[in-house]
Structure 1
Amino acid sequence: MRTKDMPRTAAYPEEIRRVMGGADPTEEQWRAISMPLEPYVVVAGAGSGKTSVIAARVVYLALVAMGRLDADHPGVLPGNMLCLTFTNKATENLFLRIRRALSSLDLPEGEEPTIANYHGFASQVLERYGLLAGIEPGQRVLTSAQRVELCARVLDDMVFEHVSAEWQPSLIGKILELADQAANHRVEPERIVEFNEERLVALSAHRSDRAHEASLERIELARAVARFRELKRDLGVIDFGDQITLALEIVERFPRAAEEYRSRYAAVVLDEYQDTNVAQGALIHGLFGDGFPVTAVGDPDQSIYGWRGASLFNLLEFQEQFRLPDGTPASRLPLYTNFRSGARILAAADRIIEKIPEDQRPDPEKKLNAWPGCGEGEVEVRRFPDEWTEAQWIAGRIRDLHDAGTESLWSEFAVLCRTSRLFVPLQEALAGEEVPVEIVGLAGLLQLPEVVEVLAYARAVADPFASVSLARILLGPRYRVGFKDLARVAAWTRDQNYPLRSEDRDDVPPFLFAEALDHLDEVTHLSDEGQARLEQFRAELADLRAEARRPVGEFLAEVIRRTGLLAELEASLDAERARATKRNLAGFLDEVHAFSPLEGELTLRAFLDYVDTVEAGEKQEWSPVQPSMENSVKVMTIHQAKGLEFGMVFVPGLAKDLFPNLMVQQNPAERGKSLDFELRGDARILPAFRGNLKQFWMALRDYEEMEERRTCYVSLTRAKRRLVVTGAHWYGEGQRQKNPSALPRSTEPRAPRSRTPWSATASGSSVTGPAPPFVTNPTRCFRRDGAGRLPRRSRILRS
């Protein structure tokens, strides 16, 4: 059998070819597969077959260990290998791929590598060695919703002087965000307090007091984080951040743990290493540093989860952090051949990513090379008057291409959005074209009208102060109470509150709109029809409050039934729209049933509090949800789509301040919820605050642009055959038209211009053609007047 030093005319091991889909590995793949037992990092570009390479690496080491392949090292049997990846889905995929790859090796039963995600592996460390550090085994890990619930208890124990506490979900979000950052970078809350107290005098001397105020806020939030940790200890629970930090503490305090792991495993493979945080990197190094054969696989250009703790620092520093036994830096190997996308798609992606500074890319010259079998691919850019026209055009295009057989499966189409706020027009447009669609994730479902309607009833039942929800229901299509009648009820409520104000008593609660429903006979000048409808709603609300004693999932299902939503869908003449709505409601109820409280039974109030926190959060674009296998168009955020691929991808919303969204996520000079960069483990690659707020903010904006370019790169490289990028002048609530996004301008090619003419259609301006070339000049496309532009004073208002 051929080794890595054999000439190319010799055959590769058949077992390796089988893993690679029956084809020979490329030279760069073979080098990554057949490396000696030493630390090295593989920079694996999008679509480069990294999962196959990882599986082939396991097979290669097994063949050497079994004596079936010559090498200058002893190899490793699969049972002595550890493979770590990021999500449960990725773990499952890697497990199945490796199991299939090993099936032909005639290995003893059970001779398989240990495959886990990073948090699951940390949990194993805690289970095995936790008692050494006084940590009880089997501690329950909090879900995101349970963390919110527990953190709310912190507010009962603290008074906030500097942090705004008017909106509870926002305050809880700030506490949890600082708690996450502290865990990701291994910083104790007490250290945050100490560091900021030491700086207060110096910050007070600055021209602006904003940095001083942010520091005071951070001190309070850090104390809240400390209280949150105390509550977790009291209940004997941990969260995902604790899993890593506690495991790392064990490894550092008790060398025996690392020694036993190094004797248990002979080689380690780390997948998606660019998505790990500083603490996870430190844990792996603490266990498997000092020349241990660790293979890290990742792509700095796909590092898009920085806002939830991932740090590109780990991948950039791997060669220095995991040195060879003789002290030389680890090797870095490329995997730059893309087996997924057409050449024009890759050219567009490369132009987007090449603008990132060299110090943020291990290989600044990296470019994806298209595998000839993938063809040229098609790239198209369009701009529309408003988001509804954009959504309708996308839906129509999907319908036309599917009907023409260009893409025979609905599931080969995906619409990838930077933010879930674009889901509503897309869902309505796709349903209007009778296209089966799946909205992926809770954050996206919360945007849909049918889910908003159900939540309005839930809030009206659970919260007497939910006047907005009451108004939504009463003004909606079910009750159709007129504005005048509603205003008269509100006026009666206001009149009842006047005497209470004159008494100047805090112990007397005000009359609420909900209470006014019990006094309709006292409200004057109501129309007969309006009074009848209000009385009908009052009776239904009373019935629903009685039903609210049932489990939350059952209660919400009852809301759907009682309000006639299901009957309305059954009677709908628009069958596909009705089916789409049913799927969305079923998906929402699945999310509800998956929600479990910290203690006792789930209450409606606890669930609504969690929904409020999700809706109030600035980072709701990612959730660990995978699309189903149903044959339907997938609408999801770009962050959810990482690791997936589709025949045709639409990327809407390319407009300034929407995509790219350059809102600074972390700014410790102005936000108390942001951990001081000086305390972060990746401070070397971050901007430094030197007293000038504006300069620091601009540097942070540049940093956000890098993140947005990576996000755009990920979206483009999901497409196999066709890519369509769209934008509009007007989105939703905007009072001004959106300027064109800066990102598509980066896709202007260096190749000679195409002869394809520019065209303007009734739906928008575009670059197109029978087989559209890589976009010729999207800047002109996004700037032209005419059909694609609204008059300057026009406004598009949609609800």
Structure 2
Amino acid sequence: MTALHPPPAVRPMPLDVLVEVLERPISDEQAAVVTAPLEAGVVVAGAGSGKTATMVARVVWLVGSGLVTPDQVLGLTFTTKAADELAVRVRHGLRRLRAAGLQPDTPSTGRSDVPLPPDVTSLEPTVSTYHAYAARLVRDHALRLGREPGARLVTPATSWQLAARAVGSYDGPMEAVTWAESTVVQAVLALAGDLSEHLVGGQEVLDVGAWLQKTAAATRKLQGPAKKVLALQEAREQLLPVVERYAALKRERELLDFGDVVALAAELARTCPQVREVERATSRVVLLDEYQDTGAAQEVLLSSLFGDGHPVTAVGDPCQSIYGWRGASAGTLRRFPSAYAAARSTPRTLSTTYRSGGRLLRLANLVSDELRTEGVRVPRLAPAPGREDDGQVRCALLADVDTEARWVADQVVAGLAALPAEEGRYWARAAVLCRKRSMFPRLRAAFDELDVPVEVVGLGGLLAVPEVADLRATLQVLDDPTADAAVLRLLTGPRWRLGPRDLAALGRRARQLVRGGTAAPDDPVEAVVLGVDESQVGSLVDALDDLPPSGDRDPLSSEGRRRLETLRDELRALRRRIDQPLPDLVADVERTLGLDVEVSARPGTTDPASARADLDAFADAAAQFAGDTAQDGAGEAVLSAFLAHLSAAEDEEHGLDTGAVSGADTVKLMTVHAAKGLEWPVVAVPGLSRSTGTGAAVFPAKPVASTSWTANFRLLPFPLRGDRTELPALSGLEPEDLKAHTEANAARDAREERRLAYVAVTRAEQLLLCSGYHWGEGAGVVGPSVFLHEARQACEDGAGEVDVWEDEPLEDNPVVGSGRTAAWPSPAPPAGPAVQAAARRVREIMAELASGPLGGNGTAGAATLSTATLSTAAIDRATLDAAALDAAAFDAAALDAAALDAAALDAAALDAAALDPAAREVVDRWDDDLRRLAEEAARRRSRRTTALLPPVLSVTGLVELQRDRAALARSLLRPLPRPPSPVTRRGTAFHAWLESTVFGQPQLLDPDDLPGAADQGAAVDDDLQLLQDAFRSSSWWGRQPQEIEVPFEMEVEGLLVRGRIDAVFADDDGGWDVVDWKTGRQPSGEGARAAAVQLAAYRLAWHQLTGAPLERVRAAFFYVRTGATVRPADLLDTTGLRALVAGVPTLDP
């Protein structure tokens, strides 16, 4: 814990001095926030209004005025990216304050020759995420609640695993739970999360059920809707033991999820006065960013710690409260004065936006008109001085969804071309924000037609990419014998293109297999008489594995049978390898399907690495999921859990994660939820259509699942939620009661959609594109939504222009009538005709072979199999010209030996009697070559090989030498490229974060001074954020190393060893502490002993670099994920390292 320093004398810093220190102007609104008294208060900050800059100025002013020291300031926000940005900018401001050498309230200029005390200005505030802060409280005080402080934070992957195990192992009553197992797993996680989020237990849920039963007994006549409410409550109650089992599985493994951490922290804050006293004394000033997104448990935690008028400033915007699905409520800002005993009930405001031009704000204010009247007062956004006429809104209503996609792509390209040039960024200055991920494929295809690089952000969006969808479907077929939908995707997709007749024949075969080969009865009466189990349905997966017999009355076409047999054989081969690790299985499926070849061969592809970016992203997701489950000890049934996780990511439109927005120069295609907090010069918001009949609404959208507890068993009853005063109340079960509740909830959903639209339209800096369409993919016509009408109104009022506005059509839907198709796999590249001709010739030869003694009748076909047939001259060399077989379009993996079934080319098939002498000679040469190859392989296997160590070896090589000398020998003799590893990239990203953000040194240019600083710092993946949060909660947080990333070279027994030390800290006793940050798992046994060699090398290197006595140099690993600092005993000294490298590794046969 940071020691408290008494603040210097209180003398308010003049604002002009603050402006000079920060080198940026401060508006009157910002000045009111910056110089506010030390009391609880609310700041309503509009989109792009400079709230981060204002919070930085507030901290600098408080320190410069002598009101607090930097270490007495606590700042909390939601994302690691936001926390890092705030921390860096606060440090930058305090450095400027220190450099200015100010003494508060000096007459006239405010300057003095006497600087602020260095022990004050060199301190730093605590800036963290809400979750990291809660985790630190739990770790420091868990014993007060009888909990272990070393519990680890569970990953989402492991949560899925444990919940699935709880569901699968439960044998209690579940007759009211009639949904699929994957849906039940989602329900368990949702209900468990809600119970933690709202600080209630299972008994309260049962109490609601008792009230419903009592109300039902008093109801005149229970009708269908009321009975549904009761049935859903019964299902909810039957899930409670499964939720408890899930909690028990976490306790057994000493795991906590985010909900557990916040709930425990809230309990500490409510029940332990000592915790409250320590936190209030440590954090004399508290800044709460994005407060409108806090949940009920976070609100209880913070108000319990810092209520009663403590100087807390809550900053937020109720118009941007878009996380109601996870417990956030726009009413938190309204409730703040009473929850924190604030002396001032009227919020201060920041209404001038520095992001968007004035013309764009006309639409933003129009969209938010209905929202500003809810709860706390929200002012209209105003442009920065001089930007009143900046920006443009362009809207369009197109005939159909395909035309809209092309319009969006064209407009984005034109909009970017009109912007001033910016070095290093062109396409990355634009984003397309969608309400639904189902819009992604069509929009992406439109950009692909223009050769515009597009990046799909987030796992859920990735699943809509065609090649990823095929990969996922194959995994589903391997995992689930009833995955008929996945089989149909494969069979009807562009790769296999199975016709309706063959599909129907396969379906009949599936029904036959249910009856053991006898056709299932079509007559339901006959089915009852025969005792057919209604739960038994024909599986296309089984039918594919057991195709109908061929013959004179073959129900399959010859080509259909060939394709089905090929797919069947592929799946059988993959099933034999299904027990390999999940990342390897995903790579195996990709190779088997030839997806890497197909994406590289797309027309217009110039960079194969970029072409397979989506496949790589999916592989990373699989690797992360597998690594997380192994890390937390829940690794069985990984494939099933991974597929269930993907289904949830696809089902939830707001997504399980927002995805990482990379720094690549690509147009970003993402959901509106994922775009919150980001900005671009050009933003497109398509799909502003709603249903006017039977068509499907897009934006505003109807929820995929009901958001009311009366219609969704996954949800906690509203009366138990912490924000229940903001939610529709259910007064009874009479029809009018349920109708009123349903209508109130629909109005709540509409407000949520409007807040989402407001977030979307306030992301743009210069150009905002809004569009909709009449015809979608459904049978009914859709039309412009209320948001598109508002965009048109704003354009007509001077915000921009209406580019196209098609009249409502009368003809049939052109999208449905056109039978929209997609070219996947891609059309053949220039090499295609040559490869296809060669393939035809190979099939002809195989047909001739098949007509011989084993494939046909007698030897009638043998006479035609001559030297010419087998000779390479028979296949025109031009056909197989090297230029025709372009490497990008032809991968050796596509002709893997497994694809050529050995049985089909068995030696017995080439009967010597069926070959003429010349042909026999060709075959003999083949046999001779095979013998020579086999003999060479045998000789290689029999040799014992000595591997010489290279003259330069990395520290990693030293560790491998200790761990497995034979493995090191193999890598030295046969070096192979290492496969890309998400774990390695995550470790690299974590080290970069430490170097640049945590231990960053003063630079000539600070990050926030660079062009485009608002766009920097791509969002990290969830696991990286967990690592960062864990480090912030560790004992190493706040310590400043003497050196970081220290490169070294040292000689050991004639060998040059190279490495890089992560960090070196100076000990209080004059010694040194060499530390290596570890983001992976802590090894044990031999693995731990091998890892210790790394520290031994670092320790010896620092000794040689500085001349410090070796016994005064300590060394440690810090395992970030678990918070464990490990100091191995008996580290090797100089003699030990020399002995290690003296041995020569050998490779045994």
TM over 0.5: yes
Correspondence 1:182 to 2:229: no
Could you tell me how far apart the structure 2 residues matched to 1:652 and 1:509 are? 44
Correspondence 1:513 to 2:540: yes
SS in 2 for 1:269: strand
Is residue 652–residue 726 contact of structure 1 (8 Å, CA) maintained in 2?
yes
Correspondence 1:395 to 2:409: yes
Q: Judging changes above 3 Å, is the alpha-carbon distance between structure 1 residues 688 and 520 closer, same or farther for their aligned structure 2 residues?
A: closer
Counterpart residue number, 1:46: 47
Correspondence 1:628 to 2:669: no
SS in 2 for 1:739: strand
2:779 to 724, 735, 746: 735
Correspondence 1:471 to 2:488: yes
Q: Judging changes above 3 Å, is the alpha-carbon distance between structure 1 residues 627 and 204 closer, same or farther for their aligned structure 2 residues?
A: farther
Could you tell me how far apart the structure 2 residues matched to 1:508 and 1:417 are? 39
Counterpart residue number, 1:104: 96
Amino acid in the other structure paired with 1:484: R
Is residue 352–residue 382 contact of structure 2 (8 Å, CA) maintained in 1?
yes
Is residue 770–residue 791 contact of structure 2 (8 Å, CA) maintained in 1?
no
Q: Over the residues paired in the alignment, what is the CA RMSD in angstroms?
A: 2.9
Q: Judging changes above 3 Å, is the alpha-carbon distance between structure 1 residues 724 and 361 closer, same or farther for their aligned structure 2 residues?
A: farther
User: 718-727 or 247-256: which moved more?
Assistant: 247-256
User: 789-798 or 111-120: which moved more?
Assistant: 789-798
Correspondence 1:785 to 2:807: yes
SS in 2 for 1:695: helix
Higher RCO structure, 1 or 2 (CA under 8 Å, sep 6+): 1
Correspondence 1:659 to 2:672: no
Counterpart residue number, 1:498: 515
User: 128-137 or 681-690: which moved more?
Assistant: 681-690
Counterpart residue number, 1:92: 84
Is residue 772–residue 788 contact of structure 2 (8 Å, CA) maintained in 1?
no
Amino acid in the other structure paired with 1:378: Q
Counterpart residue number, 2:377: 363
1:440-465 CA-to-partner distances (Å, cap 9, x unmatched) read 00011011111101111112222222
SS in 1 for 2:786: coil
Q: TM-score, normalised by structure 2?
A: 0.62
SS in 1 for 2:315: strand
1:318-343 CA-to-partner distances (Å, cap 9, x unmatched) read 1222124xxx3455210000001011
Could you tell me how far apart the structure 2 residues matched to 1:686 and 1:92 are? 34
**Equivalent residues in 2 for 1:76-155, closer than 5 Å:** 76-106=68-98, 107-108=118-119, 111-155=123-167
1:345-386 CA-to-partner distances (Å, cap 9, x unmatched) read 11111111111372x24115x101101343421011111122
Is residue 77–residue 111 contact of structure 1 (8 Å, CA) maintained in 2?
yes
How far off its partner does 1:393 sit?
Answer: 1.2
Counterpart residue number, 1:446: 463
Amino acid in the other structure paired with 1:607: F
1:19-52 CA-to-partner distances (Å, cap 9, x unmatched) read 4xx3210011111111121111111100000011
How far off its partner does 1:241 sit?
Answer: 0.8
Amino acid in the other structure paired with 1:257: V
Counterpart residue number, 1:722: 767
Q: Judging changes above 3 Å, is the alpha-carbon distance between structure 1 residues 554 and 273 closer, same or farther for their aligned structure 2 residues?
A: same
Q: Judging changes above 3 Å, is the alpha-carbon distance between structure 1 residues 11 and 212 closer, same or farther for their aligned structure 2 residues?
A: closer
Correspondence 1:611 to 2:646: yes
User: 483-492 or 509-518: which moved more?
Assistant: 509-518
How far off its partner does 1:651 sit?
Answer: 0.4
How far off its partner does 1:153 sit?
Answer: 2.6
Counterpart residue number, 1:270: 288
How far off its partner does 1:720 sit?
Answer: 0.5
Stretches of structure 1 lacking an aligned partner (at least 5 in a row): 66-74, 755-772
Could you tell me how far apart the structure 2 residues matched to 1:685 and 1:289 are? 21
SS in 2 for 1:453: helix
Q: Judging changes above 3 Å, is the alpha-carbon distance between structure 1 residues 82 and 680 closer, same or farther for their aligned structure 2 residues?
A: same
Could you tell me how far apart the structure 2 residues matched to 1:362 and 1:221 are? 38
1:410-458 CA-to-partner distances (Å, cap 9, x unmatched) read 1111101111111111111111111111110001101111110111111
Could you tell me how far apart the structure 2 residues matched to 1:498 and 1:510 are? 10
Is residue 450–residue 581 contact of structure 1 (8 Å, CA) maintained in 2?
no
Could you tell me how far apart the structure 1 residues matched to 2:322 and 2:230 are? 31
**Equivalent residues in 2 for 1:530-545, closer than 5 Å:** 530-545=560-575
Could you tell me how far apart the structure 1 residues matched to 2:560 and 2:622 are? 34
1:48-96 CA-to-partner distances (Å, cap 9, x unmatched) read 000111111111111112xxxxxxxxx1111111110011221122122
SS in 1 for 2:783: coil
Is residue 320–residue 329 contact of structure 1 (8 Å, CA) maintained in 2?
no
Counterpart residue number, 1:637: 671
Is residue 395–residue 802 contact of structure 2 (8 Å, CA) maintained in 1?
no
Could you tell me how far apart the structure 2 residues matched to 1:18 and 1:544 are? 65
SS in 2 for 1:103: helix
Between Structure 1 and Structure 2, how many residues are aligned? Answer: 751
Q: Judging changes above 3 Å, is the alpha-carbon distance between structure 1 residues 301 and 620 closer, same or farther for their aligned structure 2 residues?
A: closer
Could you tell me how far apart the structure 2 residues matched to 1:704 and 1:145 are? 30
How far off its partner does 1:540 sit?
Answer: 1.9
SS in 2 for 1:394: helix
Counterpart residue number, 2:178: 165
Correspondence 1:560 to 2:590: yes
How far off its partner does 1:239 sit?
Answer: 1.1
Is residue 161–residue 634 contact of structure 2 (8 Å, CA) maintained in 1?
no
Is residue 198–residue 297 contact of structure 2 (8 Å, CA) maintained in 1?
yes
How far off its partner does 1:622 sit?
Answer: 5.7
Q: Judging changes above 3 Å, is the alpha-carbon distance between structure 1 residues 265 and 510 closer, same or farther for their aligned structure 2 residues?
A: closer
SS in 2 for 1:105: helix
1:153-172 CA-to-partner distances (Å, cap 9, x unmatched) read 33231545564433122222
Q: Judging changes above 3 Å, is the alpha-carbon distance between structure 1 residues 346 and 509 closer, same or farther for their aligned structure 2 residues?
A: closer
Is residue 513–residue 543 contact of structure 2 (8 Å, CA) maintained in 1?
no
How far off its partner does 1:743 sit?
Answer: 2.1
1:446-487 CA-to-partner distances (Å, cap 9, x unmatched) read 111111011111122222222332333233333344443343
Amino acid in the other structure paired with 1:677: F
Could you tell me how far apart the structure 2 residues matched to 1:40 and 1:391 are? 46
Counterpart residue number, 2:431: 414
Correspondence 1:685 to 2:726: yes
How far off its partner does 1:110 sit?
Answer: 6.1
1:200 to 213, 223, 246: 213
Amino acid in the other structure paired with 1:271: D
Could you tell me how far apart the structure 1 residues matched to 2:738 and 2:534 are? 45
Could you tell me how far apart the structure 1 residues matched to 2:730 and 2:421 are? 51
Q: Judging changes above 3 Å, is the alpha-carbon distance between structure 1 residues 520 and 307 closer, same or farther for their aligned structure 2 residues?
A: closer
Could you tell me how far apart the structure 2 residues matched to 1:296 and 1:4 are? 25
1:707 to 752, 763, 771: 752
**Equivalent residues in 2 for 1:765-784, closer than 5 Å:** 773-774=798-799
Is residue 366–residue 794 contact of structure 2 (8 Å, CA) maintained in 1?
no
1:426 to 440, 443, 446: 443
User: 394-403 or 511-520: which moved more?
Assistant: 511-520
Could you tell me how far apart the structure 2 residues matched to 1:489 and 1:341 are? 58
Could you tell me how far apart the structure 2 residues matched to 1:600 and 1:538 are? 32
**Equivalent residues in 2 for 1:265-344, closer than 5 Å:** 265-324=283-342, 328-330=343-345, 332-344=347-359
SS in 2 for 1:13: helix
